Chains A and B, each alone.
Chain A
Amino acid sequence: MERSEILNKVKEILEPYVKNEEAFGNINEDTSILDDLQVNSARLVDIILAFEDEFDIEVDDEAADQVGTIGDAIELIHGQIN
């Protein structure tokens, strides 16, 4: 799966949690999920679960903790499915 395709699916998963629409509109690999998109940190757990379901992967707690930016998320998913 291409990184752009992963990005689109990640965006779909994040969409309901995003508080900053402008940052979401300008999303790129450097976008921070918490700081830029202003996602409630408690919901990162749900976002990781959604990644697991969407991409049929398993994300351990340590790997989940490393996800700060959109690029991190894509990297994590890309690494597991390819």
Chain B
Amino acid sequence: MTRVVISGMGVIAPNAHGLNDYEYALREGKSGLRHYEKLEELKFGCQVAGVPQGVDELSTKYFSKEALMAMNSNMIYAAIAGIDCWKDAGFNIPESGDETVDWETGAIIGTGIGGLDTVGGKLVPGTDAGKARRLGSTIVEQIMSSSVSARLTGFMGLGGQVTTNSSACTTGTEAVIDAFHKVRGGQFKRMIAGGSEGSSHYIWAGFDAMRVLNRGHNETPKQASRPMSASAGGFIPGSGAGVLMVESLYSAQERGARIYAEILGGQVNCGGQRNGGTMTAPNPEGVQRCIKGALQMANLRPNQVNAISGHLTATMADPQEVDNWCKALETTPSAFPTINSTKSMIGHGLGAAGGLECVAAVLQLQKGFMHGSLNCEDLHPELEAYAESIPHQTKEMDINIMAKASFGFGDVNGCVIFKKWGT
């Protein structure tokens, strides 16, 4: 089988745009969560969200006026992160008029919910007012699920498979794993992979109604996302995009690309919504099988995992997740690997979460640190035994194997194993 590596990355997150700023934000524990007047005005229980900053100005540097007229926030994030990833991998964005198609590169850019800002802001009001005829030409390309992959890949002229996956909050990690399989199987030399989610109160309203968002920190937004804490009161919705270049080792070496990490294995499964699993809760056996499956494919013993980038959203499920990791890795709390939650800084990016967090995981692996998890000084009682494994401040450490998992509604799971390059 072909060996597969990460040869480029791009990120636009609530706390940073670009790899350097993202690394700095992660190291410094910079929260990207803010209180939003709009959510207060609309009487949301949770009025805090994670939204990438300065995007209007940034967009005009990346996109033409015409392109922007047909791009919602989801598409803008996916395209910024995707273009950054493409350039970081050593490629150029072709000049307008260049008719070259790159037949050897594909893309899997996932999204969990999709372009609800367009649906809620334009499609529904316009249609209900009897003005379907006046909606314009740009609605479909913004509301189709594949809007994120379709728009992005047009900028580069990609000619491999171009698609969008959707599996709730597993989406971004699933995209990376799916891309890994395609490249490993020799179908494509490389695939741009990751997840994206727009910023829209229409996306967040349903979660607010479920009472799964934290309603208790509207005045103190930087403390609102509290994974692993005793006072975790629900997640904070986030948005943005994280995209990785998944490439065959041969292709990356042939063109002299910088390699961030190797992907050793990946597994995606579903708990079947049985044995404790439901539409919104995980079957522990499914989670454990997923992690074990990824390790097996990576040909690793469970004790070879040095670090875990958790899903860890700040709901009741955090202690259960850590317990599942512990069982899957056949270890004990005292011997447990270092674990952190990137969501403590950027909130839960939903379909973008896996993309944003895979980028964070690979950066930490490559640079040799684990960022601290914010707001869990008061560890959940069930996690006290793991206290040594949960850094509150950034910890420099040599990591060889990093496991990243994401879990989603529908009882779906994804786990990917990254290995530091050059070890």
Which residues of A does B touch, CB under 8 Å? 15-17, 19, 40, 42-46, 49, 52
Contacts and interface: CB of A to CB of B under 8 A. Distances in A.
A16 B66 contact: yes
Interface string B131-145: 000101110000000
Nearest to A61: B133
A46 B64 contact: no
Interface string B44-85: 000000000000000000001110010000000000000000
A45 B96 contact: no
B49 to A, nearest CB: 30
B69 A16 contact: yes
A19 B136 contact: no
Interface of B: 64-66, 69, 96-97, 134, 136-138
A44 B64 CA distance: 17
Contact of B134 (A19, A42, A49): A49
A49 B132 CA distance: 12
Determine the main DSSP class of B at the interface with A. loop
B138 A46 contact: yes
Contact of A17 (B66, B96, B97, B134): B66
Contacts of B137: 42-46
Contact of B69 (A19, A45, A46): A46
A43 B66 contact: yes
21 contacts: A15-B65, A16-B64, A16-B65, A16-B66, A16-B69, A17-B66, A19-B96, A19-B97, A40-B66, A42-B137, A43-B66, A43-B137, A44-B137, A45-B136, A45-B137, A46-B69, A46-B136, A46-B137, A49-B134, A49-B136, A52-B134
B212 to A, nearest CB: 39
A45 B136 CA distance: 6
A15 B138 CA distance: 17
A57 B138 CA distance: 22
B154 to A, nearest CB: 11
Determine the main DSSP class of A at the interface with B. helix
A62 to B, nearest CB: 14
A19 B64 CA distance: 11
B141 to A, nearest CB: 9
A42 B69 CA distance: 13
**Nearest 7 interchain pairs by C-beta:** A16-B65, A45-B137, A16-B66, A46-B136, A42-B137, A46-B137, A17-B66
A15 B66 CA distance: 9
A16 B69 CA distance: 9
A40 B65 CA distance: 14
Given A43-B66, A45-B137, 11 more contacts: A16-B64, A16-B65, A17-B66, A19-B97, A43-B137, A45-B136, A46-B136, A46-B137, A49-B134, A49-B136, A52-B134
Contacts of A42: 137
A44 B137 CA distance: 8
A40 B64 CA distance: 14
Contacts of A19: 96-97
A17 B97 CA distance: 14
Contacts of B138: 46
A44 B96 CA distance: 20
Nearest to A16: B65
A44 B7 CA distance: 40
Nearest to A41: B137
A46 B69 CA distance: 10
Nearest to B136: A46
A41 B64 CA distance: 17
